[in-house]
């Protein structure tokens, strides 16, 4: 069809045919946008999607475009802006918490209330899902078809350019070279095939890439890296406590070298994605062994149920683009989505959306000639290419910080200090990590925010200095981190306030309704029943207990029965004047133990253990400590107690209980 020319631009006339090769996200977003916008402009185009995974009879998408299926907040926003609502059979889970796995401890980041993050399956795999679910690709395809696109099932294997510029697209059903060739004459071709070429193999030896060359003579495909994707079937009762969470890691071990990992629970499956030298070098058939080794990593063990068996339901090794293509536009043809560029390691679906939208808008508003495509479409791809350079640095720094025990501890501590002291909107470090994990900002902005003086200050003061102090405290009390995992125990400021409000009636009943001089709170998630948790807690004061055994502090039950009102525990310190006793004064079965300090400098204070159910078989164990210093009966005493209060090392309590809570969790969960 002759194209309309306007100021040397080639505009698609009404009735023109647009062939979209590949009905993955980029192809479908492109078709959808093109059709919707052309209708808005009272224009009429024929848009034909050609997809090799489509069933020739039903049009259903078979197999899967291997991917973790994470739908980032920015993609969720973009879908909403286009009035696209993801149905509940596509969404497997709404992600509420993102956990960054660190050598020291994991950093849990809550998805901000105004951001939405989901996980979906991309295709029909893994098969035998118990619930009726649809893949994201199938949903996007139906969306494009509903907008008026046509679907042809077949694999495109050849292109021929006609003298008038039109392009003949050859496709074969089932992709077999001997199958009958079908031809479609197109006025514009969008190449949305993703990257499925073999890494390392010269691209002229790769069939589809060779087929593109008559259309895009200067085309150089993106470099790709192998990944390993596994869908692991896990009994839903084991996985349920993890639903709504996404776990990202950046390191492996001496045996398995991983640069990036993600685990996303989806009902009865856990989607695992691994990238790294071990995967780069893996041979066919190594996948299962790599996944099994991955599950044995200590930081993975910290997350997964301890007695964890992992039947892999499906496994694949798709490529992920790590650079952008070159020469991806020419007259009446352009590569889009992964085949042009993808956001590095994160949020490729969103970059597929961005490139598809830019291409559709260019085709409609500027034209399909090479110049129009260069002016309208290329800047979007080039911007992503430039941004990925910062992405590389961001991921490198991230990997170094989280993969090194010392640095990871400093970073964790800095986040914790910020969390305790700053309101949510001022948590600069948490925001940086959230943006890296979720893809919620450009890599460039993330990179510069990492070096903002305030961020550096918080890492040095709230991270490095506090860590040095804590390490010294651990040395004094002889606390060793061996034989059990390290888990987050610090509370967000707002959680502290909420919990305090919750227990206020108890505090008031014991005369601590005001804010006491010293007030601390810690919490840890324990995957167990209240009975088991309280049974272990009842050993507080037993001579052979395996938690809370700081050097120099002899903690003994001196009267009563465990977890029974009247039970007394003595804290004997090297300085007799600092020793004291606590007595269990109130028990709410299955929920709460309240100890009162009977004597010593913290007399009248409270030590409270409380359990809250967070998920089935998972409880949040919180510890609250509050007391007032003695006021003194005369000026000298008052002065002395003031000095004591100023120098009182409240942080020592944090360090000891942080250590003890991790021990407790380990003891309970390994029972």
Ligand X SMILES: Cc1cc2nc3c(=O)[nH]c(=O)nc-3n(C[C@H](O)[C@H](O)[C@H](O)COP(=O)(O)OP(=O)(O)OC[C@H]3O[C@@H](n4cnc5c(N)ncnc54)[C@H](O)[C@@H]3O)c2cc1C
Among 102, 194, 462, 490, binds ligand X (CB under 6 A): 194
Cβ proximity to ligand X, 335 vs 569, nearer residue: 335
70 contacts 246 by C-beta, under 8 angstroms? yes
Q: Which residue, 113, 117, 119, is CA-closest to 77?
A: 117
Non-local (6+) Cβ contacts of 644 within 8 A are 601, 629
CA dist., res. 535 & res. 240, Å (int): 24
Cβ proximity to ligand X, 257 vs 549, nearer residue: 257
**Strands laid side by side in the 606-615 sheet:** 518-526, 618-627, 606-615, 592-597, 580-588, 568-572, 554-559
570 contacts 559 by C-beta, under 8 angstroms? no
For residue 97, list its beta bridge partners: 110, 245
* Stretch in the footprint of ligand X (CB under 6 A) among 103-111, 188-196, 403-411, 459-467: 188-196
Residue 571, CA atoms < 13 Å, CB-side half-sphere: 24
**Residue 23 within binding range of ligand X, rule CB under 6 A:** yes
Cβ proximity to ligand X, 80 vs 670, nearer residue: 80
Among 34, 64, 68, 479, binds ligand X (CB under 6 A): 68
Cβ proximity to ligand X, 52 vs 435, nearer residue: 52
Cβ proximity to ligand X, 341 vs 608, nearer residue: 341
Cβ proximity to ligand X, 354 vs 491, nearer residue: 354
**Residue 152 within binding range of ligand X, rule CB under 6 A:** no
Q: Is the peptide bond before 126 cis (omega within 30 degrees of 0)?
A: yes
* Stretch in the footprint of ligand X (CB under 6 A) among 45-53, 410-418, 518-526, 558-566: 45-53
Cβ proximity to ligand X, 209 vs 373, nearer residue: 209
Among 10, 32, 51, 166, binds ligand X (CB under 6 A): 51
3-state class percentages of the chain: helix first, strand second, coil last, to nearest 5: 40, 25, 40
Q: Which residue, 526, 534, 484, 527, is CA-closest to 659?
A: 484
219 contacts 193 by C-beta, under 8 angstroms? no
- Angle made by CA atoms 28, 445, 318, in degrees to the nearest 5: 40
Among 135, 249, 337, 600, binds ligand X (CB under 6 A): 337
**Strand-pair category, 46-51 with 150-153:** parallel
* Stretch in the footprint of ligand X (CB under 6 A) among 344-352, 483-491, 525-533, 541-549: 344-352
* Stretch in the footprint of ligand X (CB under 6 A) among 69-77, 128-136, 357-365, 398-406: 69-77
Closest distance between ligand X and the C-beta of residue 45, in Å?
A: 20
Please count the residues of this chain forming the interface with ligand X, following the rule CB under 6 A. Answer: 38
* Stretch in the footprint of ligand X (CB under 6 A) among 92-100, 341-349, 495-503, 583-591: 341-349
Among 64, 117, 303, 352, binds ligand X (CB under 6 A): 352
**Residue 52 within binding range of ligand X, rule CB under 6 A:** yes
Among 11, 21, 64, 169, binds ligand X (CB under 6 A): 21
**Residue 596 within binding range of ligand X, rule CB under 6 A:** no
CA dist., res. 301 & res. 260, Å (int): 16
**Residue 330 within binding range of ligand X, rule CB under 6 A:** no
Closest distance between ligand X and the C-beta of residue 69, in Å?
A: 6
Cβ proximity to ligand X, 65 vs 362, nearer residue: 65
**Residue 192 within binding range of ligand X, rule CB under 6 A:** yes
* Stretch in the footprint of ligand X (CB under 6 A) among 60-68, 81-89, 525-533, 626-634: 60-68
Structure tokens, 314: 């499906």
Non-local (6+) Cβ contacts of 78 within 8 A are 350, 353
CA dist., res. 331 & res. 523, Å (int): 62
* Stretch in the footprint of ligand X (CB under 6 A) among 16-24, 387-395, 452-460, 483-491: 16-24
Cβ proximity to ligand X, 277 vs 543, nearer residue: 277
Among 342, 364, 378, 436, binds ligand X (CB under 6 A): 342
**Residue 376 within binding range of ligand X, rule CB under 6 A:** no
Structure tokens, 271: 């989607």
Among 250, 265, 287, 348, binds ligand X (CB under 6 A): 348
Closest distance between ligand X and the C-beta of residue 266, in Å?
A: 11
Among 10, 33, 46, 53, binds ligand X (CB under 6 A): 53
Helix (H, G, I), strand (E, B) or coil at 186: strand
Cβ proximity to ligand X, 30 vs 496, nearer residue: 30
Q: Which residue, 533, 562, 556, is CA-closest to 661?
A: 533
Cβ proximity to ligand X, 69 vs 541, nearer residue: 69
For residue 150, list its beta bridge partners: 48
**Residue 167 within binding range of ligand X, rule CB under 6 A:** no
**Residue 416 within binding range of ligand X, rule CB under 6 A:** no
Closest distance between ligand X and the C-beta of residue 106, in Å?
A: 19
DSSP secondary structure string for all residues of 301-357: HTTS-SS----EEEEE--EEE-S--BS-EETTEEE-GGGT---SSS-HHHHHHHHHH
Q: Which residue, 655, 298, 653, is CA-closest to 479?
A: 655
**Residue 19 within binding range of ligand X, rule CB under 6 A:** no
Among 196, 236, 253, 586, binds ligand X (CB under 6 A): 196
DSSP secondary structure string for all residues of 567-626: -EEEEE-SSGGG-EEEEEEEEETTTEEEEEE-SSTTTT-EEEEEEEEEETTEEEEEEEEE
Binders of ligand X in range 207-226 (CB under 6 A):
208
Closest distance between ligand X and the C-beta of residue 360, in Å?
A: 14
Phi, psi of 101 (to 5 degrees): -80, 125
CA dist., res. 513 & res. 499, Å (int): 14
**Residue 338 within binding range of ligand X, rule CB under 6 A:** yes
Q: Which residue, 327, 366, 430, is CA-closest to 111?
A: 430
- Angle made by CA atoms 256, 315, 616, in degrees to the nearest 5: 85
Among 227, 398, 470, 523, binds ligand X (CB under 6 A): 227
Cβ proximity to ligand X, 322 vs 533, nearer residue: 322
**Residue 522 within binding range of ligand X, rule CB under 6 A:** no
**Residue 97 within binding range of ligand X, rule CB under 6 A:** no
Number of H-type helices and E-type strands within the chain: 20, 30
Exposure of 28 by Cβ count < 10 A (0-12 exposed, 13-18 middle, 19+ buried)?
Answer: buried
Cβ proximity to ligand X, 48 vs 503, nearer residue: 48
Among 11, 12, 17, 25, binds ligand X (CB under 6 A): 25
Cβ proximity to ligand X, 348 vs 630, nearer residue: 348
CA dist., res. 420 & res. 638, Å (int): 30
Closest distance between ligand X and the C-beta of residue 279, in Å?
A: 10
Binders of ligand X in range 265-324 (CB under 6 A):
273, 318, 320
Helix (H, G, I), strand (E, B) or coil at 174: helix
Among 16, 18, 22, 145, binds ligand X (CB under 6 A): 22
Q: Which residues bind ligand X (CB under 6 A)?
A: 21-27, 50-53, 65-70, 72, 155-156, 192-194, 196, 208, 227, 229, 273, 318, 320, 337-338, 342, 347-350, 352
């Amino acid at each position: 069809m002759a194209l309309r020319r306007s100021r040397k631009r080639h505009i698609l006339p009404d009735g023109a045919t647009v062939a979209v090769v590949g009905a993955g996200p980029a192809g479908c977003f492109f078709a959808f946008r093109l059709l919707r916008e052309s209708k808005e402009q009272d224009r009429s185009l024929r848009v034909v999607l050609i997809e090799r995974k489509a069933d020739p009879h039903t049009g259903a998408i078979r197999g899967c475009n291997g991917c973790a299926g994470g739908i980032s907040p920015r993609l969720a926003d973009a879908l909403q802006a286009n009035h696209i609502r993801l149905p509940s059979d596509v969404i497997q889970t709404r992600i509420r918490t993102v956990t960054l796995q660190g050598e020291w401890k994991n950093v849990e980041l809550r998805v901000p209330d105004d951001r939405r993050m989901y996980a979906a399956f991309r295709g029909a795999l893994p098969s035998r899902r118990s619930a009726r679910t649809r893949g994201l690709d199938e949903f996007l395809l139906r969306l494009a078809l509903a907008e008026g696109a046509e679907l042809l099932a077949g694999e495109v294997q050849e292109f021929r350019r006609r003298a008038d510029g039109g392009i003949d697209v050859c496709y074969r059903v089932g992709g077999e070279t001997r199958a009958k060739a079908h031809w479609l004459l197109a006025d514009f071709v969008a190449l949305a095939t993703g990257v499925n070429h073999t890494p390392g193999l010269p691209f002229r030896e790769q069939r589809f890439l060779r087929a593109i060359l008559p259309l895009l003579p200067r085309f150089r495909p993106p470099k790709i890296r192998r990944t390993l994707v596994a869908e692991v079937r896990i009994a839903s009762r084991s996985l349920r406590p993890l639903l709504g969470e996404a776990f990202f890691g950046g390191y492996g071990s001496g045996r398995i070298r991983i640069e990036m990992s993600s685990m996303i629970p989806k009902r009865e499956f856990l989607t695992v994605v691994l990238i790294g030298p071990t995967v780069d070098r893996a041979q066919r058939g190594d996948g299962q062994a790599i996944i099994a080794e991955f599950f044995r990593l200590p930081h993975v063990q910290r997350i997964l149920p301890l007695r964890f068996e992992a039947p892999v339901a499906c496994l694949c090794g798709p490529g992920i683009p790590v650079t952008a293509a070159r020469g991806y536009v020419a007259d009446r043809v352009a590569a889009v989505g992964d085949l042009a560029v993808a956001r590095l390691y994160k949020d490729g679906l969103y970059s597929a959306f961005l490139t598809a939208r830019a291409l559709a808008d260019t085709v409609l508003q500027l034209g399909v000639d090479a110049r129009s495509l260069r002016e309208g479409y290329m800047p979007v791809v080039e911007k992503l290419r430039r941004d990925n350079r910062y992405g590389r640095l961001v991921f490198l720094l991230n990997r170094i910080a989280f993969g090194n025990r010392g640095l990871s501890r400093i970073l964790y501590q800095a986040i914790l200090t910020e969390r305790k002291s700053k309101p949510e909107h001022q948590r600069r470090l948490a925001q940086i990590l959230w943006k890296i994990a979720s893809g919620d900002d450009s890599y460039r902005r993330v990179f510069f925010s990492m070096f903002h003086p305030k961020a550096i200050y918080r890492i040095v003061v709230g991270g490095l200095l506090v860590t040095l102090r804590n390490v010294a405290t651990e040395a004094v009390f002889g606390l060793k981190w061996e034989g059990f995992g390290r888990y987050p125990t610090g509370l967000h400021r707002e959680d502290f306030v909420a919990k305090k409000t919750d227990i206020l009636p108890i505090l008031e009943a014991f005369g601590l309704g005001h804010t006491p001089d010293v007030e601390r709170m810690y919490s840890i998630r324990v995957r167990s029943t209240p009975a088991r948790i309280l049974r272990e807690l009842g050993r507080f004061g037993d001579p052979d207990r395996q938690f809370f055994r700081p050097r120099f502090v002899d903690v003994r039950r001196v009267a009563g029965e465990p977890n029974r009102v009247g039970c007394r525990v003595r804290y004997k310190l090297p300085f007799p004047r600092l020793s004291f006793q606590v007595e269990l004064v109130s028990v709410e079965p299955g929920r709460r133990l309240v100890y009162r300090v009977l004597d010593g400098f913290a007399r009248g204070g409270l030590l409270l253990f409380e359990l809250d159910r967070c998920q089935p078989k998972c409880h949040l164990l919180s510890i609250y400590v509050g007391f007032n210093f003695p006021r003194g009966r005369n000026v000298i005493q008052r002065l002395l107690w003031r000095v004591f209060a100023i120098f009182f090392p409240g942080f020592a309590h944090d360090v000891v209980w942080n250590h003890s809570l991790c021990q407790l969790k380990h003891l309970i969960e390994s029972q």
